[in-house]
Structures are given as C-alpha cells and as structure tokens.
Structure 1
Amino acid sequence: WRVQYALAKLRKAARTLLTLDPKDPKRIFEGEALLRRMSRYGLLADDELELDYVLQLTTQKLLERRLQTKVYKQGLAKSIHHARVLIRQRHIRVGNQLVNVPSFNVRTSS
C-alpha cells in the first residue's frame, strides 16, 4: 500500500501539472523537476520524459527499483527473502554507503 500511495502522489502531481497551460512557468519548472527525479531513479526512460508517461507508471515499476529486488535480480541472494536478510544484516553497500533498509530506492547511477 505504501508503493501505491507513492505512485498516487506522483500521478496526482503529473495530473495537476497537465491541467496548467503548457507555457506556464510553474508547469515548466515543476514538470522538469518531476521528470528529472523520475529519470534519476530509473522510473522513466530517456525517450519517455513527458508528463503523459508518468500517468502510465505501475506499482511494478516502482517495486523493481527497491534494493531488495536489485540484490535478488543480480544473483547475490537465493530468494527475495534472503536478499532482505542480507540487507538487514548490513552485508550490502550502495556506492560507499552501507544500507540496511530493504525498501531503499536505488538510483540508476548507483
């Protein structure tokens, strides 16, 4: 439900910006900031940097960016539950930072 709430907030922000005039400074500034943030986390591809694509996001896309999922997909853990245990026991680093939160959202640069 937390992921659904986060997705709902992103969609609401995009819907609000889409109702504004395309040349409105608020839409331009906040829209670019929203798209830049979503691109940084890998939620949108470089060719999808428009507010319309934000409305098409799914919870699956958000869940794929979690550290727990990344550890499992890279083969560092035998299961998603094993990945969670490894993260909680502080065996996993993201960059130079030791992370012990399985729900940590991994950026594309990490």
Structure 2
Amino acid sequence: MGDPRKLRKKWEGPGHPWDKTRLENELRLLGKFGLRNKKELWIAQTMARKIRHRARELLALPEDVRKKEEENLLKRLYSQGIVQSNAVLDDLLSINAEHILNRRLQTIVYQKGLAKTIYQARQMIVHGHIGINGRRVTSPGYLVKRSEEDLIDIISSSPFKRELEASQ
C-alpha cells in the first residue's frame, strides 16, 4: 500500500510552460469548467494522454491478442461516461481533457441545473450540499460514472433542498 505521505503525482505539467496558444487554451478551459487552478486541468490532460497512449499500444498488438483488451478498455471508458456505447478504438485517439472535465461532479451539477453557475456548483459541493445516492460528496473533481449520473441531487438536510421544496 505504501506510505500515505509519499503519493505519486497524478499529473504532468506542460513541456513548454510559456507557449501562448497553450496558455490561452488553458485559461479558456479554466473559466469554462470553473477549475480552481491549472493543476486540476493538468490532471485531466494526463488522464486523457494515458488513454490515448493505451489505445496506441493496443493498435500495435496482433488482432487476436488485441480484441479482448480493447473490449475491456472500451467497456470501462463507457461506464465512466468518457465514450459512447458504439465507440471503437480509433475514437480513443481523439480523447482530450474536455472529455474528462465533462465527467467531473462540478460540471454535471451545473449541467443538471442544481446550481446557477459553475462556480456555485463548486461551492455547493465543497460545502457538502450535493450527494450521490444520498451519500455526501465534497470533491468537485470526483469523476461521475454513467450509472451515478441520475443519482446526483441536493442532500436532504441542505437548506438548498428546503428552498427548492418551498418554491414548488
């Protein structure tokens, strides 16, 4: 299991830190998804890079070996909500950070209309007003699985829930 104080980094920073187009793109994504800092974006970029890398590895394997592993990878990514059900291995090569960021709890709370802005969605999650299947989740970066998407709601003890019920 290892020492909890010596965790591995989950992200890799950019190779060229002062590239103007990359900086502009990062700033646009930070605002669109309401991220706290660029580290959250770099985590998503690293996850997408690893998926693309795994897809390239599978494409290099012989057909008989590749089939089962390809099916497992596609099934896992479908359950995470990153790809559609009819996706093929070539579709994985076009995955980018936005696909990962769309699966964050913060983004889904905003898209479901539980919060008025993406920043309010983050605050509601961090303050413990949002839960999945009645279980409180306080991490805005939690990657929501496809099966959990419909179970996201405001916690019953939250004042937001009482306001919502009073307005109806």
TM-score (norm 2): 0.61
Deviations along 1:25-48, whole A, 9 cap, x unmatched? xx2332222111100011111111
User: Structure 1 residue runs of 4+, over 3 Å off?
Assistant: none
User: Does residue 1:17 correspond to 2:88, yes or no?
Assistant: no
Give the aligned CA root-mean-square deviation in angstroms. Answer: 1.1
Matched-pair identity in %: 38
The CA deviation at 1:96 is: 3.5
RCO higher in 1 or 2 (8 Å CA, sep ≥ 6)? 1
What is the distance in 1 between the residues matched to 2:51 and 2:71?
13
Q: Determine if contact 2:107/2:118 at 8 Å carries over to the other structure.
A: yes
Q: Which structure's CA Rg is the greater one?
A: 2
Question: Among 78, 81, 86, which residue is 2:116 paired with?
Answer: 78
Distance 1:30 1:97, change over 3 A: farther
- The CA distance in 2 between the partners of 1:97 and 1:32, in whole Å, is 31
1:4 pairs, out of 45, 48, 54, with 45
For structure 2, list consecutive stretches of 5 or more residues without a partner in the other structure.
1-41, 149-168
TM-score, normalization: structure 1?
0.91
Deviations 1:52-98 (A, max 9, x none): 11111122111111100001111111111111110011111112321
Within the candidate set 82, 103, 106, 2:141 is matched to 103
